[in-house]
């Protein structure tokens, strides 16, 4: 099927254009379309291909958000900060319950551990209180089932707990959720927005945003392979939801720095079989949050937290970051003796932290609108965890300016059926442009230990038949998928895809 030319959008008018099809952008488009606003959602690449696809994949309960960086004795003297933390944690827990209710097919539940060590900054009784408090903030709708065990009892119940190095004062045990399919959360949310009336266009880069009377004129350039084109579209409002790229959208701000990027690195490993399905939450020796996440047959560990100013497109995993993560894992589990040879692959992403006057703000989600550029919003500071909360804030801001049109959308978003003969139809229906879109963000193959390489050849034929690719284009897509996989998920030993890509294949 031939993809409609971008010029089909030229001259069209909308109430709102949302820039960026990550978790926040997709949810914002869903909220706006569901409330009756004519909405266009655009992205320079695929749905959910940026920060949303490189998160730590945890539906986090929020304990770490209560952890203050300053000494504990100062807490009573900083009530405003503690109130902000409590309100934020309440939002986190409400969003957690909402996703468990509305997207259960996109989540998995696991047993997590919290080790109590001698000399920890936070005493056991305070951590106990923190867990009880965050459950109460949610109204106990999705319980954590937290309990603190003596080291011996924890070791009897869990091989992971038994492998912890000492000295231990106890082990907390609780239930936590992981995003089984973070990319599909974005895709399915965008498709639900489309069902509610939104227009969706991927591989359409915003190259200019300019004032046009009372409206905004947005220029879009085609970025899909083997395609060219440009369109100019009008809107009464524009929502810049480009994540860590917000400040790099041409015309998307007033020259002010909206975000400071925080780089996070995760490392995938094969830990002992007895650890399968279990996770761990702790603090590193640097005082930063540190996790061991279960991921099917594997585990990944991290993340790092490093402030960066470079273009997120250029951020890469560094050797020192891998060594730090492995060193902390060996500190927690001294008998594992992990080395770089144990690394299956790794990845990094950049979280867009809100700023005020060039500094990180304590407020997690902000809607920025300059008084001299009314109707141009920038939403910053959200995580995939809070994408629905951020979207509701966007929708309320739009309603404040354009008036209310209808009720907020509700309802379950089911996980897709991805087996059988429907993959070709899925590729057409779900805006697939590249082979990587299909493998990584429409099918579960991209989340397997081989990162989808095992079925790449087979799926390239399915995509070619459905999307009308030539044989040369199919080979180009295989080569692009190989290179992009090695770039996004560098491994200790590089995996090379296939041996049948002919010489002279270019244009990837």
pLDDT in tens, 389-435: 999 999 999 999 999 999 999 889 987 766 555 899 999 999 999 99
Give every CB contact of residue 75 below 8 A, 6+ residues apart in sequence.
68, 82
pTM across the whole model? 0.92
- In a domain, residue 221? The reply is no
Question: Is 187 contained in some domain?
Answer: no
Contacts of 120 (CB under 8 A, 6+ apart): 169, 283
Residue 504: predicted pLDDT = 40
Give pLDDT, residue 507: 41
* C-alpha distances out from residue 188 to 30, 181, 349, 420, Å: 10, 10, 21, 19
SS (H, E, C) 351-415: EEEEEECCEECCCCCEEECCCCCCCEEEEECCCHHHHHHHHHHHHHHHHHHHCCCCCCCCCCCCC
Tell me the HSE value of 284 on the side-chain side, using a 13 A CA sphere: 18
Question: Residue 243: inside a domain, yes or no?
Answer: no
- Residue whose tokens read 């990587």: 436
Assess whether pLDDT exceeds 80 at residue 494: no
State the pairing for strand pair 168-179/147-149.
Answer: antiparallel
For residue 72, pLDDT beyond 70: no
Torsion over CA: 112, 116, 121, 123 (sign):
positive
Q: Residue 453 domain-assigned?
A: yes
DSSP code of residue 440 = I
The dihedral through the CA atoms of 188, 192, 193, 195 has a sign that is positive
Q: Is residue 481 part of a domain?
A: yes
391 and 30 Cβ atoms separated by less than 8 Å: yes
Q: Over the stretch 323-378, which tens digit does the pLDDT of each residue have?
A: 999 999 999 999 999 999 999 999 999 988 887 655 554 457 888 887 788 999 99
CA distance 501 to 145: 52
According to the model, what pLDDT value does residue 79 have? 81
- Stretch 102-117: mean pLDDT: 93
Query: Does 112 map to a domain?
Result: no
Q: What is the pLDDT of residues 230-239, one digit of tens each?
A: 999 999 999 9
Q: What is the DSSP letter of 252?
A: S
Determine, yes or no, domain membership for 371.
no
State the Rg of the chain over Cα: 23
Label residue 122 by pLDDT band (50, 70, 90). confident
- CA atoms of 170 and 24, how far apart (whole Å): 38
How confident is residue 259, by pLDDT bands cut at 50, 70 and 90?
confident
Cβ-proximal residues to 295 (8 Å cutoff; 6+ apart), any chain? 57, 178, 268, 447
Q: Is the pLDDT of residue 497 over 50?
A: no
Number of independent structural domains in the chain: 1
Per the DSSP assignment, residues forming a β-bridge with 201 are 42
Give which of 400, 359, 353, 375 is closest to 254, Cα–Cα: 375
pLDDT cut 90: percent of the chain above it:
67
Q: How confident is the model at residue 73 (pLDDT cuts 50, 70, 90)?
A: low
Spatial distance between the Cα atoms of 66 and 129, rounded to a whole number of angstroms: 11
Those residues whose C-beta lies under 8 Å from the C-beta of residue 95, and which sit 6 or more positions away, are: 385, 386, 387, 388, 389
pLDDT of residue 85: 82
Tokens of 230: 């440009």
Assigned domain for 296 exists: no
Alpha carbon 136 to chain centroid, angstroms: 26
| CA 463 remoteness from chain centre | 25
Q: Which range marks the domain in which residue 463 is found? A: 420-488
Which pLDDT score is estimated for 76?
77
């Amino acid at each position: 099927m031939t993809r409609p030319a971008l010029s089909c959008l030229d001259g069209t008018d909308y109430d709102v254009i949302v820039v960026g099809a990550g978790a926040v952008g997709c949810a914002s488009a869903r909220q706006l379309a569901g409330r009756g606003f004519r909405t266009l959602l655009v992205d320079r690449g695929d749905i959910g291909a940026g920060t949303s696809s490189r998160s730590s994949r945890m539906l986090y309960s929020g304990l770490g958000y209560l952890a203050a960086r300053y000494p504990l004795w100062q807490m009573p003297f900083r009530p405003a900060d503690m109130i902000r933390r409590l309100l934020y944690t309440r939002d986190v827990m409400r969003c957690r319950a909402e996703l468990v209710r509305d997207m259960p097919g996109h989540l998995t539940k696991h047993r997590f551990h919290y080790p109590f060590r001698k000399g920890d900054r936070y005493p056991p009784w305070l951590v106990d209180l923190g867990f009880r408090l965050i459950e109460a903030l949610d109204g106990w709708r999705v319980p954590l089932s937290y309990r603190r065990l003596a080291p011996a009892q924890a070791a009897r119940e869990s091989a992971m707990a038994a492998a912890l190095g000492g000295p231990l004062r106890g082990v907390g045990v609780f239930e936590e959720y992981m995003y089984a399919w973070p990319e599909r959360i974005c895709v399915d949310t965008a498709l639900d927005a489309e069902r509610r009336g939104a227009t969706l266009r991927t591989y359409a880069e915003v190259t200019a945003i300019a004032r046009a009377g009372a409206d905004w004129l947005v220029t879009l350039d085609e970025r899909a392979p083997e395609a060219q084109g440009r369109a100019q579209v009008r809107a009464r409002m524009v929502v810049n939801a480009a994540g860590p790229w917000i400040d790099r959208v041409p015309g998307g701000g007033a020259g002010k720095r909206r975000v400071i990027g925080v780089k996070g690195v995760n490392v995938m490993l094969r830990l002992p079989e007895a650890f399968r399905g279990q996770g761990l939450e702790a603090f590193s020796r640097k005082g930063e949050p540190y996790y061991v996440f279960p991921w099917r047959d594997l585990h990944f560990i991290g993340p790092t937290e490093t402030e960066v100013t470079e273009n997120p497109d250029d951020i890469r995993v560094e050797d020192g970051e891998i060594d730090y993560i492995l060193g902390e894992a060996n500190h927690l589990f001294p008998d594992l003796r992990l080395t770089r040879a144990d690394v299956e692959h790794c990845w990094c992403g950049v979280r867009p932290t809100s700023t005020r006057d060039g500094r990180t703000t304590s407020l997690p989600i902000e809607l920025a609108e300059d008084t001299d550029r009314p109707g141009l919003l920038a939403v910053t500071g959200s995580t995939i965890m809070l994408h629905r909360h951020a979207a509701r804030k966007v929708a309320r801001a739009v309603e404040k300016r354009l008036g209310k049109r209808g009720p907020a959308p509700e309802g379950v978003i089911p996980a897709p059926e991805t087996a059988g003969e429907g993959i070709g139809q899925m590729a057409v229906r779900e805006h697939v442009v590249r082979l990587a879109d299909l493998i990584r963000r429409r099918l579960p193959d991209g989340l397997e230990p081989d990162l989808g390489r095992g079925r790449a050849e087979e799926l390239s034929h399915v995509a070619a038949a459905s999307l009308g690719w030539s044989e040369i284009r199919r080979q180009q897509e295989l080569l692009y998928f190989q290179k992009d996989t090695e770039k996004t998920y560098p491994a200790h030993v590089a995996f090379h895809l296939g041996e049948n890509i002919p010489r002279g294949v270019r244009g990837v």
